């Protein structure tokens, strides 16, 4: 079987590559490969079981059409300042054009027309003033909030659009390797993702790998095996913080998501907030080797009494160690071991007092955990000293911006690790050192989040459609 384009991974970047190429060249034969299920068949049984049952062979929260994006907080960041390093590759102004173009596609499929964080300019100035006082930088970023449940509806419509327009999607199908001949990519080797059988070779003129954070480690292994140019990137390790809505109310109303960056003493590593969810819910995601990490969801119509957000500490490694993904996985494994396979939650005040948190202490707190099967414990027994120090000092600084954030009952969940640290060397057209092979999205190391991954796919589709400009 021969295709014009084979796309590995039906996350946002893969979806929008197929969408845009099909729009420009409807006669092109496109194959979209996805390890998981159709979005309408993705379901987490935790709604009924009330605890993670470690679904096999993969977690539906992270795997399936639209990737982790379908079950994320569903926020589109509408600024080039947020979402990775792609602007450094193709330019900030061009990325903003692509954001505007891609945003219109989301609107066409039913995204909320309201944009958060563009009003209350005087109040934003006051938040910035407090951030400067605390030694933090406030990043302005308009947000279009899809909502976890609405995002699934939108991606469901996009999936149906692709099928209706002749794009072949193979679900429960896993790419295990690529076929390279004479320095050029010719195809991919597939297997049944459930039974791990029926190996098959498919060939295409072009192959795009958009495997998401879930596939970052697999893509790294391909780079090593086939000498695809790449380099070690940054690994983000941190916690998910949860406080009462009353603590975050002012910032939530003004900005919806306050993106703050700091370089706290003594290490001066980059520490940032990420994925803020007003009235949201802390969630669990499972990766390969039964690795459990924490995340956050934010629905449009279903709200909790709490706000959660991630605080991530960035770490870079040099000679002789250059395996940041493995480092992050080892930290997560150790925390999982202490939690007996579950997410650990600890009160901020208990960390300062040098003690673990006990379950009965959580039950009488003002902040009731929205992740009910999180296990009370001690993050400091497994979290690296440097990372923990960065997080605690950042929380102290953030308390200047949001009084009460560093309250004794503030909850910290761990681990939160972002597996996109391998960075593939690509051209401005996203081509790798192997001819006909392109890498996109979070697995490439160039993007972080829905919008950047989506617009990278849009540009890829335009490039393959021989259109290098938005109107091409």
Per-residue pLDDT of the chain (472 residues; tens, 9 = 90+): 799 999 999 999 999 999 999 999 999 999 999 999 999 888 777 777 777 777 877 777 778 898 877 666 788 999 999 999 999 999 999 999 999 999 999 999 999 999 988 887 899 999 999 999 999 999 989 999 998 788 889 999 999 999 999 999 999 999 999 999 999 999 999 999 888 877 899 999 999 999 998 888 899 999 999 999 999 888 999 999 999 999 999 999 999 999 999 999 999 999 999 999 999 999 999 887 789 999 999 888 899 999 999 999 999 888 888 888 889 999 999 999 999 999 999 999 999 999 999 999 999 999 999 999 999 999 999 999 999 999 999 999 999 999 999 999 999 999 999 877 789 999 999 999 999 999 999 999 999 889 999 999 999 999 999 854 433 3
CB 251 within 8 A of CB 402: yes
CB 24 within 8 A of CB 113: no
Q: How far is CA 30 from CA 22, 115, 162, in A?
A: 8, 34, 10
**pTM for this prediction:** 0.88
CB 411 within 8 A of CB 403: no
- Nearest Cα to 417, choosing from 258, 264, 234? 234
Exposure string over 425-443, b if 16+ CB within 10 A, otherwise e: ebeeebbbbbebbbbbbbb
d(CA 300, CA 93): 31
Domains of the chain are 2-111+147-231+421-464 (3.50.50.60), 121-141+234-418 (no CATH)
Dump strand ranges (E) for 35-108. 75-77
């Amino acid at each position: 079987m021969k295709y014009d384009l084979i796309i590995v991974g039906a996350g946002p970047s893969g979806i929008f590559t197929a969408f845009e190429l099909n729009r420009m060249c409807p006669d092109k034969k496109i194959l979209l490969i996805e390890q998981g299920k159709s979005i309408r068949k993705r379901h987490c049984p935790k709604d009924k079981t009330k605890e993670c049952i470690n679904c096999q062979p993969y977690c539906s929260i992270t795997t399936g059409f639209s990737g982790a994006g379908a079950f994320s907080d569903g926020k589109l960041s509408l600024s080039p300042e947020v979402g990775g390093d792609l602007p450094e590759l193709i330019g900030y102004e061009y990325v903003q054009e692509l954001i505007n173009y891609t945003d219109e596609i989301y609107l066409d499929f039913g995204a909320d027309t309201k944009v958060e964080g563009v009003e209350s300019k005087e109040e934003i100035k006051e938040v910035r003033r407090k951030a400067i006082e605390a030694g933090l930088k406030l990043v302005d970023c308009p947000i279009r909030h899809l909502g976890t449940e609405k995002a699934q509806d939108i991606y469901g419509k996009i999936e149906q659009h692709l099928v209706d327009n002749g794009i072949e999607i193979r679900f429960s199908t896993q790419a295990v390797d690529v076929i390279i001949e004479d320095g050029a990519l010719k195809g991919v080797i597939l297997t049944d993702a459930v039974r791990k059988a029926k190996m098959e070779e498919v060939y295409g003129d072009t192959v795009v790998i958009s495997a998401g954070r879930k596939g970052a480690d697999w893509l790294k292994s391909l780079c090593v095996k086939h000498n695809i140019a790449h380099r070690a990137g940054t690994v983000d390790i941190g916690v998910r913080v949860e406080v009462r809505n009353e603590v975050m109310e002012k910032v939530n109303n003004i900005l919806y998501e306050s993106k703050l960056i700091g370089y706290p003493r003594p290490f001066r590593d980059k520490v940032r907030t990420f994925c803020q969810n007003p009235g949201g819910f802390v969630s669990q995601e499972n990766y390969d080797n039964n690795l459990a990490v924490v995340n956050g969801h934010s629905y449009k119509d279903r709200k909790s009494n709490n706000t959660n957000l991630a605080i991530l500490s960035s770490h870079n490694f040099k000679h002789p160690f250059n395996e940041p993904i493995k480092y992050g996985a080892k930290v997560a494994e150790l925390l999982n071991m202490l939690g007996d396979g579950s997410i650990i939650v600890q009160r901020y005040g208990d960390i300062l007092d040098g003690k673990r948190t006990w379950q009965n202490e959580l039950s009488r707190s003002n902040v009731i955990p929205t992740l009910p099967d999180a296990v009370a414990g001690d993050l400091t027994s497994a979290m690296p000293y440097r990372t923990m120090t960065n997080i605690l000092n950042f929380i102290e600084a953030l308390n200047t911006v949001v009084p009460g954030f560093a309250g004794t009952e503030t909850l910290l969940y761990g681990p939160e690790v972002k597996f996109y640290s391998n960075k593939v060397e690509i051209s401005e057209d996203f081509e790798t050192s192997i001819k006909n092979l392109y890498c996109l999205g979070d697995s490439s190391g160039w993007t972080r989040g829905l919008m950047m991954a989506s617009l990278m796919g849009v540009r890829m589709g335009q490039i393959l459609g021989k259109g290098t400009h938005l109107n091409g």
